Amino acid sequence: MAKKTVKIKTAGNGGKGESVNNHSNNYTAKDIYVLEGLEPVRKRPGMYIGSTGVDGLHHLIWEVFDNSLDEAMAGYAKNILVTLLPGNKVRVVDDGRGIPVETHKQTKKSALETVMTTLHAGGKFGGESYKVSGGLHGVGVSVVNALSKSLIAEVCRDGERWQQEYERGNPKSKVKKTGSCKGTGTAITFEPDSEIFRDIRFNWDTILEHLRQQAYLTAGVRIQIRDEREKEEHLHKSYAFCFESGIKSYVKFLNRSQKNKNESIFYASKETNGIFVEVALQYIDDLTARELAFANNIYNQEGGSHLTGFRTALTRVLNDYARKNGYLKDKDGLTGEDVREGLTAVIAVKIVNSQLQFEGQTKSKLGNPEARGAVESVFGEAFSAFLEENPSEARAILEKVILALEARKAAKAAKDTVLRKGVLDGLTLPGKLADCQSRKAEESEIFIVEGDSAGGSAKQARDRRTQAILPLRGKILNVERARLDKMLASKEIKALIIALGAAIAEELDVSKIRYHKIVIMTDADVDGAHIRTLLLTLFYRYYLPVIEMGYLYIAQPPLYRISKGKDVRYAYLEDEKEKIIKELVKIAEAKTKKGKEEKEENENPEVQEIETEGENPPAGGLPAGGRGVSIQRYKGLGEMNAEQLWETTMDPGKRVLKQVTIEDAAEASKTFDILMGDEVAPRKLFIQTHARAVQNLDI
């Protein structure tokens, strides 16, 4: 990238002999802007909630909800209700102590108004009100107030109900008494400001998943969510969560569709050195690991010291038990990779607010070094005792991790064979690969094509300079059910690995990948969908960084070629086909001459037929007046000639590509488990649930 030179012209004396530092005379107190109250939040909302997109919008709910959850964690609340209301409003109610309403000594305003209109004001910044809280990861309800078009705060305390209304963070009136009430609690009702957020529609599933997770982490607290929005797609749903077993129930939920290795879920909890530690785990018949780490109910996506302590203790305890009971040979040792295969674990710590440390602004990684020692001590001691007291459970776990050890050795040998003798050592690429001429990965793309027939058309159609073609024969191995050594024995998978040139699994180096667009191009039928799913499983399990970098795409070949005369159109959906036919008929009718020919046609009506190629069109679905309209249904890519394949599916100027992304890794993993795992019942339920959403199904 070319550098831009900026010339600075100094003031005075024609700009000669002047020091640039003289500009400091123009930088005075008037240039310092002081944003009072909640004004900085509205000026720079991204600094407080991360973004003004969908994530930031839902963060508003989390902030209000966290205040209620903190009351529950402190032992003052047992029930929290979150309601989605008409007009994009949200109401959060708890039965905690209620925000104080008396005059605050420092601000000379009601404590309620102080909390709602002042940044960093609340019971978590000092005193004994909240020793442990989750709300500290955000900036409080005052930010929600600033970013809401309207907000109403209601408090029940000492038998009296108090209320204050706000508009974009500004009080519309003073805190006023509105009547009497029984019990105590706080209710916050807010409407996000459309001036701040591009889209103010809340996602039911996102909220449901988050609140369910929080219920697991706060045992015994009842969290309810209602959807009362006045829209047809929302049927006033209502769910309530309350888990007396806490994270133990969470592990059970995560493994609900899996085959367990150890039947009973291990659970331990203890406070040590001021840190409360909870750990629950269970092994399943799977190749991947799921480890969820939390600090004060905040999900630490990148783990941190508590996760490190857990992993260290897990590896040490299993190695000690295995050697003591003759499961391991002297020269062998279990690695962290071995002991985590098939593991589902939830690690949760609660730390006093004043000592809580996170790395980075996103709070995705816990930084407290003492948390490592606390988890390692509590979990290590309890898990060692669990194995000694439950020999049958211990045997099931040890058989699982030792199998992983043996598979790791076999996989290493297989990878050495595939990778070191492949393109990584400069040898030839797979013979079936028609490579592109360019060696610049950023402009190169590879089409993974189903079958030799489609591969032949694609090779003729492609732009040889930037487009490579790799045809695959048949359906590749389901890697969800196979270990790496067996997977690397597959010729088709081996060819793909060598063609991509970036190794695989833990040796994957995305910087060496040969194409920045990897396009899965399969037929638009059931078999094509199956092959596509098998390839997606391979990429998700072994090439995840490729998806995260945005390099994986799915091609969208058309279902129909529709023509009338020289006018040719392509339909990618069933609904599109009907629309195109009507447009072609309309164009033809517009060209029809009026007069004698039209009169003769009216006097001598005849049945008009639509000429079709391939399958017959559905009965009753085509408009009248379609004489000469030709419809060709593509059953596969091989039915297209090179020109058609290029102009519909491969031409960068006309094609439609779907980029593969992952919004929720845990949910994606669960979906792959259901679709590609060994258990039939969950897959059958998934198909029955989503059958109506299927399009283009060939029966």
Tally of CB atoms within 10 A around 391: 10
Same fold, 41-241 and 247-412: no
Rounded to the nearest integer, the mean pLDDT of the chain is: 81
Q: 3-class SS at 405?
A: helix
Are 96 and 87 within 8 A, CB to CB? no
- Helix H or strand E segment including 528: helix 526-542
Q: What is the pLDDT of residues 635-654, one digit of tens each?
A: 778 788 899 999 999 999 98
* Res. 25: pLDDT tops 90: no
- pLDDT: which is higher, 220 or 692: 220
C-alpha to C-alpha distance for 423 and 429, rounded to whole angstroms: 6
- pLDDT: which is higher, 620 or 295: 295
Strand 298-299's sheet: what is its strand order?
Answer: 266-272, 275-283, 343-351, 290-295, 298-299
Mind telling me the catalytic residues?
450, 523, 525, 527
Which pLDDT value is given to residue 47? 80
Which pLDDT value is given to residue 248? 96
Amino acid occupying residue 274: G
Top-ranked range on mean pLDDT: pick from 23-27, 119-123, 126-130, 429-433: 429-433
What DSSP character marks residue 500? H
* Confidence class for position 19, pLDDT limits 50, 70, 90: very low
C-alpha to C-alpha distance for 497 and 607, rounded to whole angstroms: 57
Q: What is the pLDDT of residues 196-243, one digit of tens each?
A: 998 999 999 999 999 999 999 999 999 999 999 876 554 568 899 999
Q: 3-class SS at 154?
A: strand
Domain boundaries, the chain: 41-241, 247-412, 430-557+659-690
* Res. 258: pLDDT tops 80: yes
Residue 266 in tokens: 């291990």
0.75 exceeded by pTM = no
Top-ranked range on mean pLDDT: pick from 164-168, 226-230, 419-423, 487-491: 164-168
* Res. 696: pLDDT tops 60: no
C-alpha to C-alpha distance for 540 and 545, rounded to whole angstroms: 9
Which pLDDT value is given to residue 139? 52
Residue 687 in tokens: 């198909």
Q: 3-class SS at 548?
A: helix
C-alpha to C-alpha distance for 10 and 659, rounded to whole angstroms: 51
Which pLDDT value is given to residue 603? 56
Which pLDDT value is given to residue 318? 97
Residue 330 in tokens: 């002297």
CATH number of the structural domain 430-557+659-690: 3.40.50.670
**Closest alpha carbon to 290 in 307, 304, 266, 278:** 307
Which pLDDT value is given to residue 602? 55
C-alpha to C-alpha distance for 205 and 663, rounded to whole angstroms: 13
Which pLDDT value is given to residue 147? 94
Are 47 and 59 within 8 A, CB to CB? no
C-alpha to C-alpha distance for 68 and 95, rounded to whole angstroms: 8
What DSSP character marks residue 135? G
Tally of CB atoms within 10 A around 267: 19
- pLDDT: which is higher, 500 or 674: 500
The rounded percent of the chain whose pLDDT value lies above 70 is 78
**Closest alpha carbon to 654 in 527, 546, 526, 558:** 558
Distance of CA 522 to the CA centre of its chain: 25
Which pLDDT value is given to residue 146? 93
* Res. 17: pLDDT tops 60: no
Q: What is the pLDDT of residues 316-365, one digit of tens each?
A: 999 999 999 999 876 789 999 999 999 999 999 999 866 778 876 557 88
Q: Is the Cα torsion angle 420, 426, 431, 434 positive or negative in sign?
A: positive
CATH number of the structural domain 41-241: 3.30.565.10
C-alpha to C-alpha distance for 138 and 62, rounded to whole angstroms: 9
The CATH fold of domain 247-412: Ribosomal Protein S5; domain 2 (3.30.230)
C-alpha to C-alpha distance for 632 and 677, rounded to whole angstroms: 37
C-alpha to C-alpha distance for 639 and 451, rounded to whole angstroms: 12
Amino acid occupying residue 173: S
Q: What is the pLDDT of residues 236-246, one digit of tens each?
A: 688 999 999 99
- pLDDT: which is higher, 680 or 618: 680
Average pLDDT over residues 591-597: 54
* Confidence class for position 14, pLDDT limits 50, 70, 90: very low
CA distances from 92 to 121, 151, 226, 565 (A): 20, 11, 10, 62
C-alpha to C-alpha distance for 273 and 278, rounded to whole angstroms: 14
